[in-house]
Structure 1
């Protein structure tokens, strides 16, 4: 998993300040001035040619007559803060900073008629990979979506879930094996209870489409139970990527489920003779009412040039979440574009629960156990197991405040000759998304 840069306080406070200011101003505009004086919240403003402009919790939306076109502009700001301590002596501080901007991006979606969807997302907090989704989709055949561009490969329920809606501040340790976003094309089909997505991808649009070889990735899901009150989700995904010789080496690593860590405790280092990487993922989830339980297992095999022995790694997680005073997470079979089929959506905040309407918001409790094994053959990347508990508070429709505690153990680790590392972590997040 590629390391994500951290927009830190201190030497780069000016950049952090400008990012926060821009995001806050835009978010405040969207959240606070949805309608002119005397108008209902989110009521549309009519234009001279029949178009309407709406500003509400979904962002800025411009609609043209007869559904000829619709343009929506939104964004998100995620500000992380926390503290961590390592129980063993002799290690540096795990967090080099206690506050960081996790994501700060603007996104736009253009719908043309009923068959064309364009999407673009830009993250100001990630200078190395600022472009996220940049894709165009065609939906001219019922039940089918063809998408071309930079987007997520169809692999892993955890990874395909939106960054806005993950149960914890970070995905599990096993997310190190998910290929995430790259440039390619995908064809998806779906029925009421099933989905199949197959695709071909190159490299990431930010780092070079031709620099990371070619991958074929496929995911299929089936929901034998699918009602308003209960969902049983089963899924399988496979991916094979051929890697070019003498290019950037393959490296797999995972931070201990907190963005602010200065370094991962498990890390394969550069595998310079990697010829290909194959992935197999199994996923299952069950939602009944307000309770959601989901689990995944991912196995990754790396073959090597010149007849060297292949190496295999594995990881997985089991997590549960419970919404105390609201509806359970809805199951979304079909996306507007791309590969994010068959996922669980955000917790909804009803009108009566909104703090701005005199309510107390919606609360969600969660627990997770995850593990990753990056030790095989000559590769001594380490083994880590994490136990996490968390609480999410949704005071209003666009806002979420998160608090996680993570108990992490890496034994052996990839640091100081494999020394064991036990860490206690508190990580919080303030999120505004529109």
Structure 2
């Protein structure tokens, strides 16, 4: 695990949060339950949060040239622990740490100031663009977000963001740096500058009925690598396991991205999709373009409705109509998804090709904080080089709980 001054600052924030919580408990404190105990004293709140995902993955890889193989693995996909809370009506914080795949990293590390109910100023390590990207994996329909988020590299980075929202819209803009978990480019004998960028996102829900909802959104991002390594554009096969067979290699000096998003919900049925394009500036004044999109649909057989958090522009926790804790059988959701990512405009390397895949999914929710998932993906990696195509079939299962 790489350690820098930002990590130390994050650790200090976590210690401060614990100290504040201890002080709150020493006073007249009330306790409520939201997946885990939440302590409150006037406007001071404190809650421990976390999640655990345990996966089994079966994968079969069919190479056009070279040896085929298959793999079976049981793995801890995610074990995350954190704290969140408020100091008063205006100040809030969140700090999360994850252990997964043999490594440990910071996730959300956020300090938020809200001068009004509709204005938020946030600083820290977090995500800013794309509906599925900023939605918690606790609530996304499939086990993994797919190559759309992978190839665009729109994960958590350090941001200072200003966000406004109304009853059915949001608008946000941010200045961004690099991820907390990456090496510090200034920690060298010659110094240096980290990645610098700007981004923004707007969403609107023109239809916001009890049983029918329509969400539309758009976002844009520009970034420059400065003195850090070139950007790489690559995608896995709708799984966090295994190799990436579609990749450009480290070629990007700067890039400009634009994305569109749409969600339609009608009772237990929903359709979701996103599209994005990126213009990539490379060395020697060479430019290339990539495109990526996905579309998915889901059906709650048991009658539930997906929870669209309109004021945040992301998924929220689904309300289970008949959880097992109340004598019911829980909720059953069936889903299908198609993904496509096109890197063929990059004339090198041989692996800069096109990815396409179909995924079938089933989710059982015995309780709002517990979910069992099954995904089957059949994907094609059509690479530029003759004889370099790779077909992959992946069957995955997950047991997850959060608090």
The answer on whether the counterparts of 2:140 and 2:315 sit within 8 Å (CA) in structure 1 is: no
Alignment correspondent of 1:409: 380
Alignment correspondent of 2:90: 115
Shift of 1:367: 0.4
Alignment correspondent of 1:256: 237
Instruction: Say whether residues 1:394 and 2:365 are aligned partners.
Output: yes
Distance 1:131 1:264 in 2: 24
Aligned runs of 1:305-316 on 2, under 5 Å?
305-307=283-285, 309-316=286-293
Distance 2:67 2:318 in 1: 39
Task: Say which of 271, 283, 300 aligns to 1:293.
Answer: 271
Distance 1:182 1:251 in 2: 16
CA change 1:50–1:419 in 2 (3 A) is same
Aligned runs of 1:240-255 on 2, under 5 Å?
240-245=222-227, 247-255=228-236
CA change 1:306–1:84 in 2 (3 A) is closer
Task: Say which of 332, 348, 360 aligns to 1:363.
Answer: 332
Consecutive unaligned residues in structure 2, runs of 5 or more? 1-23, 186-192
Shift of 1:388: 0.5
Deviates more, 1:200-209 or 1:423-432: 200-209
Distance 2:328 2:200 in 1: 44
Shift of 1:383: 0.7
The answer on whether the counterparts of 2:146 and 2:239 sit within 8 Å (CA) in structure 1 is: no
Alignment correspondent of 2:67: 91
Alignment correspondent of 1:333: 310
Distance 1:118 1:171 in 2: 26
Number of matched pairs: 369
Alignment correspondent of 2:315: 344
The answer on whether the counterparts of 2:334 and 2:363 sit within 8 Å (CA) in structure 1 is: yes
Distance 1:60 1:413 in 2: 54
Task: Say which of 109, 122, 135 aligns to 1:161.
Answer: 135
CA change 1:127–1:134 in 2 (3 A) is farther
The answer on whether the counterparts of 1:411 and 1:418 sit within 8 Å (CA) in structure 2 is: no
Instruction: Say whether residues 1:225 and 2:207 are aligned partners.
Output: yes
**3-state SS, counterpart of residue 140 of structure 1:** strand
Shift of 1:398: 1.6
The answer on whether the counterparts of 2:267 and 2:303 sit within 8 Å (CA) in structure 1 is: no
Distance 1:347 1:418 in 2: 45
Instruction: Say whether residues 1:235 and 2:217 are aligned partners.
Output: yes
The answer on whether the counterparts of 1:170 and 1:258 sit within 8 Å (CA) in structure 2 is: yes
RMSD, matched Cα: 2.0
**3-state SS, counterpart of residue 175 of structure 2:** strand
**3-state SS, counterpart of residue 270 of structure 2:** strand
CA change 1:301–1:209 in 2 (3 A) is farther
Shift of 1:252: 1.2
TM-score if structure 1 supplies the norm length? 0.81
**3-state SS, counterpart of residue 100 of structure 2:** coil
The answer on whether the counterparts of 1:98 and 1:260 sit within 8 Å (CA) in structure 2 is: no
Shift of 1:376: 1.5
Distance 2:281 2:325 in 1: 56
CA change 1:110–1:286 in 2 (3 A) is same
Deviates more, 1:70-79 or 1:220-229: 220-229
Distance 1:127 1:248 in 2: 23
